[in-house]
Chain A
Amino acid sequence: MAIPYGAAPGAATDELARAAPEATAGLRRHWRRHYPFKVILGLGLLTVFVLMAIIGPMVAPYDPSAIGPDTLAPPSAAHLLGTTQTGQDVLSQLLIGSRSTLLVGFVAGAIATTLSVVVGISAGYYGGAGGELLGMLSNIFLVIPVLPLLVVLTAFLPGAGSMVVALVISAISWAWGARVLRAQTLSLRKQDFVQAARAAGERGWRIILFEILPNEIAIVASSFLFTVIAAILTDASLIFLGLGDTNQWSWGLILFWAQNNEAFTVGAWWWFIPPGLCIALTGTALALINFGIDELINPGLRAAGRDRKASRAMTTEQGLTPVRRAGSTGLTTGSGTGR
């Protein structure tokens, strides 16, 4: 389980917060000119999984819970991903399970993001003692380790459905986004265009909705993606441990049964590799999209430009401007002593 360790890779939070307004404008401009490979890959992968979630139950060849005669069979024509110890078809489990897994992730992400937007922006905009208190509240939730808390909570709520788990996850994960949004709103509030709107008598909620929020869309999007990854991983981890919703098929549940039936020791790789891989790829897809947003915000972060060859030729030493003379193929960084 890899609930994001602090910041998501690529989300240096303050920097993100500072650059957000230009980023949103940049987003529109940029998409028309560049289509970074990363983002396309991410979106592509995500589409595959979303499709799986939507049509999965309709195309699954078998009932995932139906036991059958072929036990622990490696992949074959009849069972594309092999079978479990009780003859259940792994592929069907994977297809059906995708719905619950992704749903929990996105629902938790949506609720958490909404909460973080509401709490973060109001705390930042209205400020005062209430703002400080909300800030403290989000800090508290940030510091408390998530999984132990969830383990304890779900242990006390046996038989909770997946939506309840989603709610619990979102109740804890809103804090990070709220903190970043609060900081950003605080700094935006001092800026001229907000002051102008206030002086013109615009009402608070209108300013928030039309002036402040549009400038923070990039952060909100990033925060949403980040929370979805975390929620999917947390949910899978909980189910793997035998907590949370063990009545519905999900990728975590496949792994739970795999673990309980010693799939690992008997080397039934077709049982435990696909679900974990799917989780990892879904998370990667979301992270790639997130990376794409980050690089939009700070173009300096792009690892290599479109001109790969040219950029590689330009890997330069720091503090030494390269000299490229007409007629030479590469760059010299100088080695002689001149005349």
Chain B
Amino acid sequence: MAFLGRRIGFYLVVAWAAITMNFIIPRLMPGNPVEILISRLSSQGELTQRSIHALTVAFGLNTKTGLLGQYGQYWVQLFHGNLGTSITYYPSSVAQVVMTALPWTVILLGTATVIAYIAGTVLGVLAAWRRGSALDTALPATTFLYAMPLFWLGLVAIEVFAVKLRWFPTSGGQTQGIPIGFTGQFLSSAVDHSILPALVIVVTVMASPLVGMRNMMVTTLGQDYVLVAQAKGLSQRRVMVMYAARNAILPTIANFALALGYVVSGAILVEYVFSYPGIGYILFQSVSNEDYPLMQAIFLIITLAVLVANLLADLVYVVLDPRSRQEA
């Protein structure tokens, strides 16, 4: 279990680094979020000195306590789940804003990524199993998909499927006016709105595990133990799955965790393009409105979520590869 221990330790370090970076960046950059808020609120009326001071403290920019003191306060706030107050959605807290948007992203992104990875892996295995088949020679065509800007594909998809063909809605997470809840009406509307963005993600994300898996399978099929498996007269399926794919999939799983960081980036763009009300879309809003607390909080959450996903992938890896259970 030393392997897992090391990975957890590593993730803790990254988490710390991300949190600290989150703390430092705004203080290094030009621009003071409080001033921005003040100027915005001032247009609605005068603010007293005390209000200004209260805001400064609320945003953690109280220079009286010194940098280290602020750092300490920052951690305390984090542990209380207090990520600050949003400027865009003032006076809602950042946490509230994030919690409304997060489920949309998780459902869209989560499902699409899983589908893409499974589809890519299975197709990669099949392409390698039947060398020289149509599937195998079509592989280089996937490089085109891989190199395509995701947002562009999204826009083209909207143009073709939503505007011209009218098969899908053009934007949004759901039809306006339907209250959120586990009602059939809401769910069907939500699914309807998520198909196009999900498809776009699947199409571009699928290329990497497909080719990676195919190449690993080709190498694995050349191994002695696969020869032995065939010599044993085992069924085609067992050889392909338990001997070849089981071994070939290991690097893909190791890469999946890494890939997730990039997939998240892609999903953000997709949400922007489709005006899908997830975390990415909110990140956008926060950038246009210079809502620094919200912006940083989202970045932090995304990073932490990716770390958790990485940890889960590591767990799966440990289960699948007995060699990793005893790291020297």
Contacts and interface: CB of A to CB of B under 8 A. Distances in A.
Contact of A280 (B26, B144, B236): B144
Interface in A259-285: 259, 264-265, 267, 269, 272-273, 275-276, 279-284
B132 A312 contact: yes
A291 interface: yes
A264 B155 contact: yes
A282 B216 CA distance: 27
Contacts of A319: 230-231, 236, 239
Interface residues of A, number: 74
B148 A2 contact: yes
Count chain B CB atoms within 10 A of each CB in A9, A273, A317, A318 and give the residue with the most.
A9
B13 A140 contact: yes
Given A140-B13, A301-B215, A318-B236, A284 B155 contact: no
B261 A145 contact: yes
Contacts of B145: 2
A121 interface: no
Contacts of B146: 2, 4, 8-9, 283, 287
- The bracket for how many chain B residues form the interface is 35 or more
A9 B268 CA distance: 22
A253 to B, nearest CB: 13
A267 B222 contact: no
Interface stretch (B52-60, B78-86, B179-187, B302-310): B302-310
Contacts of B144: 280-281, 284
Interface stretch (B37-45, B61-69, B94-102, B293-301): B293-301
A37 to B, nearest CB: 9
A145 B265 contact: yes
B259 A236 contact: no
Given A136-B13, A145-B264, A145-B265, A300 B152 contact: no
Contacts of A303: 131-132, 136-137, 139-140
Interface stretch (A91-99, A122-130, A146-154): A146-154
A227 B310 CA distance: 22
Main secondary structure of the interface of B (DSSP, over half): helix
A148 B265 contact: yes
A196 B146 CA distance: 43
A333 B96 CA distance: 65
B165 to A, nearest CB: 12
Interface in B63-122: none
A288 interface: yes
B216 A12 contact: yes
A298 B14 CA distance: 35
Interface in A1-18: 1-15
Interface in B117-162: 129-133, 136-137, 139-140, 142-153, 155-156, 158-159
Given A9-B143, A152-B296, A276-B155, 15 more contacts: A6-B259, A7-B208, A7-B255, A12-B212, A139-B14, A143-B261, A145-B306, A146-B261, A148-B298, A236-B149, A242-B288, A284-B143, A291-B143, A315-B130, A319-B231
Which A-B residue pairs are the 6 nearest by beta carbons?
Answer: A283-B147, A6-B259, A147-B265, A9-B211, A276-B152, A319-B230
11 contacts: A143-B307, A145-B261, A145-B265, A145-B303, A233-B147, A233-B150, A264-B158, A287-B146, A301-B215, A303-B131, A318-B230
